[in-house]
Amino acid sequence: MGAPTLRGVYETVLYVADLARAARFYAEELGLTPVPGLGGAGGAFRLADGGMLLLFDPDQSAAPGRVVPSHGAHGPGHVAFAVAPGELDGWVERLKRRSIEVEREIAWPVGGRSIYVRDPAGNSVELIEGEAWA
């Protein structure tokens, strides 16, 4: 029997010490849609393609005895979000208006283009139009 297939990533996690502050960033600055379910234990956001971004305080999510297995990392993580073709320049304008510093811009050899910002916890957040990978 061949391997059954993993269709995609359903939940991507970032760790943040200040949940409320980070949740405001992803909702207000990046326009993600909050989804209930974690209460005060974290932040959950639904992306347009059905995937989820989850925010956790690592000291809380690493506690033993949870309903779900424990996890929790310290230090800056990384996530990249796909933007629609032609929308990256609009994102650069939007971030500039909101005084969010674009740390770097990269044009990828395979044709895609990325910008990078930091969330309030220091995680590296990339917005990419097109492809960075072969």
Rounded to a whole number of angstroms, the minimum distance from the CB of residue 126 to a second copy is 7
Q: Which residues touch 112 (CB under 8 Å, ≥6 apart)?
A: 128, 129, 130, 131, 132
Q: What is the dihedral sign for C-alpha 83, 86, 87, 90?
A: positive
Q: Which of 16, 23, 55, 91 binds a second copy (CB under 8 A)?
A: 91
3-state secondary structure of 40: helix
Could you say whether residue 81 binds a second copy (CB under 8 A)? yes
Q: Which parts of this chain interact with a second copy (CB under 8 A)?
A: 1, 3-13, 15, 30-32, 35-37, 44, 46-54, 56, 58, 61-62, 67-84, 87, 90-91, 94, 103-104, 106, 116, 118, 123-124, 126-128, 132-134
